[in-house]
Amino acid sequence: MARSDWRRPASHPYEEGCVRRVRMTVAYDGTGYSGWQHQRNAPSVQAEIEDALYRLTGHSVTVVGSGRTDSGVHALGQVCHFDLPDERFPAVVFKRALNAFLPPAIRIMDSEETNDSFHARFSAMAREYRYLIKREADMTPFDSGRVWVVKELPSLELLKAHAAEIAGTHDFTTFTAAGDMCERRHRDIYVSDFSVEKDIHGAEVLVYTICGNAFLYKMVRSIVGTLFFLVLGGVPATETARRLAARDRSQAGRTASAHGLYLSRISFDEKEYEWFEHLHPSMEMPSEDREREDSDDEA
């Protein structure tokens, strides 16, 4: 969908009774949490931060995140905002003060003053995820719950060829898990690529990087699992293209573990991916579908 069709208001009003907005970047180990968003009878990252804010300020506030990561999924660059009814605390104080209340698995990386022109979810232009995979033989005690563990790593060249089929504007119904509530399944994928990196111990880590305007329910993990096992079997990249075009959930393979997935970065730069529309002309959408879907839920 062309960015001109993203119906974004110029401002996002403060919560009733509030006079200011604070923006924060958050990192967290999602192993012990049900995800970012509030869940009944289960711990969430959002609830932990809201509780810490209440203990610090005495106000019950709603923390709005850029992406609602699923249970067990991690983040290095989650962005959120909250509104406050007073100006007692300078924005820069929240990083240090909230970290004193939060568990070690959740860290505020920065905090700054913003205004009603910014909204953590609706101002986001792109969301980037990284998925980490390691060989079982290379695992250390510090990798548990933080990577997807496999017996062997398949061909990097073939992985990159399969990943290239994901880039562009597509209907991602094939890679959407049951339970997704979005009516429109088209998404713009700016980056889809595999690389091999070294961890701090010198072991190889297979990294899948994907960046797009938004994501569907468990979409990234479904893509990773499907591509990985297709490549492990030596299947050519045309098979990924065929399965994607089929728009059929039964064509997807195994969904990869939540442990390897990280929300790595949120981009608010309107110019960063402007080139995309020139390389991938937008698909024509029915007028009733042109309201942008910001559902990057539990990717």
Q: What is the pLDDT of residues 191-206, one digit of tens each?
A: 999 999 999 999 999 9
- Ramachandran bin of 179, using left for φ above 0, alpha for ψ from -120 to 50, beta for the remaining angles: left
Domain end, chosen from 85, 114, 143, is at 114
Catalytic residues: 70
Domain end, chosen from 114, 139, 169, is at 114
The whole domain housing 243 covers: 126-289
Tell me if 295 is assigned to some domain.
no
Q: 169: which strand partners?
A: 188
Calpha distance 50→33 (Å, rounded): 15
Per-residue pLDDT for 2 more than 80? Answer: no
Tokens 């059929």 sit on residue: 248
Residues 279 and 173 in one domain: yes
Tell me if 121 is assigned to some domain.
no
Tell me if 146 is assigned to some domain.
yes
Residues 218 and 269 in one domain: yes
Residues 162 and 281 in one domain: yes
Residues 73 and 137 in one domain: no
- Contact at 8 Å (CB) between 212 and 220? no
Neighbouring C-beta atoms of residue 186, cutoff 10 Å: 19
Residues 77 and 146 in one domain: no
Residues 97 and 183 in one domain: no
Contact partners, residue 286, CB within 8 Å, separation at least 6: none
Q: What is the pLDDT of residues 257-291, one digit of tens each?
A: 999 999 999 999 999 998 998 787 655 444 434 34
100 sits in which H/E element: helix 93-101
* Angle between helix 93-101 and 45-57 (nearest 10): 110
Is 47 buried (19+), middle (13-18) or exposed (0-12) by CB count in 10 A? middle
User: Which residues carry a binding-site annotation for substrate?
Assistant: 129
- The single-letter code of the amino acid at 186 is H
Whole-prediction pTM: 0.92
Tell me if 245 is assigned to some domain.
yes
Q: What is the pLDDT of residues 206-264, one digit of tens each?
A: 999 999 999 999 999 999 999 999 999 999 999 999 999 999 999 999 999 999 999 99
